Each structure stands twice: as C-alpha cells, then as structure tokens.
Amino acid sequence: MNNHQALITHSIHPLNPQKRFIESAALILKERSAIAVYPTDTVYGIGASVSNQKAIEKITQLIPKDKSARLFSFICSDFSQISNYVRLSNNHYRLMKRYLPGPYTFILHATNLVPKKISPKRRTVGIRMPACRVVQELVLSLGEPLANTSLNLQGELRGDPYEVKAAIANSVDVMLDAGPLDNPTASTIIDLTDEEPVVIREGKGEWRE
C-alpha cells in the first residue's frame, strides 16, 4: 500500500523512550497520511492521527471486513482529551479513573468531534489510556488521540515485534519497536453507553465491579 516508502523502525526503550524517536514518529504522523505501529499495555497497535481521514481510510483497508464493525478505539493522553470525544458523566469518570491507565477499552457515546468514518452508525467510540510509556509519550507529542486498532495476528504473535513487522512492513510508515510484550492479550472491553457498565469482552484487565 505504501510501497514507495520504506518502513522506518525505531528500537525504543519501553520504560524510558528516547525523545527523538517519539518526536520523529509524531512528525511523520502529522506531516503525511501516515500509519504507525507501536506497543501498548496489551498488544502492538496500529493507528493514525485521529484527524487524518486519509490515513484512517488506509487502515480500514488493511483490516478484514468482519472486524470493521467496531474497528477503532481512541488512545488518549488524559481525561481532558477524553472529554472532547465522548460524553462523560460524573459516574463514568469516577469509574474510569479507577482503571486507567490500564488494559481496558471503555465504550461511550461519541461527540461530534469523532469522525464519521470511525463511528458511522452507532455514534459510539472506544476509549483507551494504556499503561505504556511509549504510546503515552507518542500521543502527548502528537497533541491529539491515535485512532487505534489491533493487527490481524493471533495470540502471542501480537506481542512479537518480529512477527508484527513481517505482517505490516509494506503497509505502515513507522514502527516503534519496544521488544517482545509481556503476556500479549486483548484489552477488557466495558460498555458505558448506559449508566450501568456491561462487560463486552474479558481480556487482560481484571474487572472488579
């Protein structure tokens, strides 16, 4: 898809990510219709700037059609940013504050800032705030959320940078390689579109409510 552009790979420290690599990746995402791959606290994710429609369209073409029903979540840096994109009640805020940052995706009603391409019918969006320094710093440097989804890999492969790179080398512009991820498991998904939370998928995060 982006065959004209060689994949730029940065080997990045998982706990103390090098600022120059973070800023380089953020710049590529800002200046081009670019796609990035990066570690999270669950699996390696693939994403683009939330305002970059062209890049988001490219990602939708990489993901199997059967997975496009709930394709993207937003990786946000803090609750101030989250509140721009979803309608957040006080109860939901208190609940999410107990679990974030962490391996959870919370589904909430979207605001008008969420692009139609990301939430065409249901007007809901998943929100993530991973406990992972690399992606936290990337979102901060970017200045807006990442429209994030999972790679089309299974099990342990989703946390293996070698396998990840092989799967995306011709489709992605930049990769932040933080080495193998510990226990690569999908996030726990909680639906907060009503007052009472509903567990949609049990994943890496323990739900204690």
Residues of the chain with pLDDT under 70: 1-5, 64-70, 120-122
Residue 2 lies in a domain: no
Domain that holds residue 155: 8-201
Closest CA to 126 of 144, 140, 146: 146
Element (H, E) at 140: helix 133-142
Element (H, E) at 22: helix 19-31
pLDDT tens track for 5-29: 689 999 999 999 999 999 999 999 9
Residue 144 lies in a domain: yes
Tokens describing residue 159:
């946390």
CA distance to 8, 21, 68, 71, 133, per residue, from 128 (Å): 25, 22, 18, 13, 14
Residue 3 lies in a domain: no
Number of structural domains the chain divides into: 1
Tokens describing residue 32:
């081009």
Residue 206 lies in a domain: no
Residue 1 lies in a domain: no
Closest CA to 75 of 155, 7, 140, 162: 140
State the pLDDT at residue 3: 43
State the pLDDT at residue 5: 67
pLDDT tens track for 83-99: 999 999 999 999 999 99
Residue 172 lies in a domain: yes
Residue 209 lies in a domain: no
Q: Which residues contact 200 (CB under 8 A, 6 or more apart)?
A: 107, 189, 190, 191
State the pLDDT at residue 121: 65
Q: What is the CATH number of the domain that holds 90?
A: 3.90.870.10
Closest CA to 91 of 206, 188, 209, 203: 209
Residue count of the chain: 209
State the pLDDT at residue 126: 95
User: Contact, 118 vs 48, CB < 8 A?
Assistant: no
Residue 50 lies in a domain: yes
State the pLDDT at residue 151: 85
DSSP letter for 4, please: T
Q: How far apart are CA 135 and CA 138, in angstroms?
A: 5
CA distance to 27, 38, 39, 96, per residue, from 101 (Å): 25, 16, 14, 9
Amino acid occupying residue 46: I
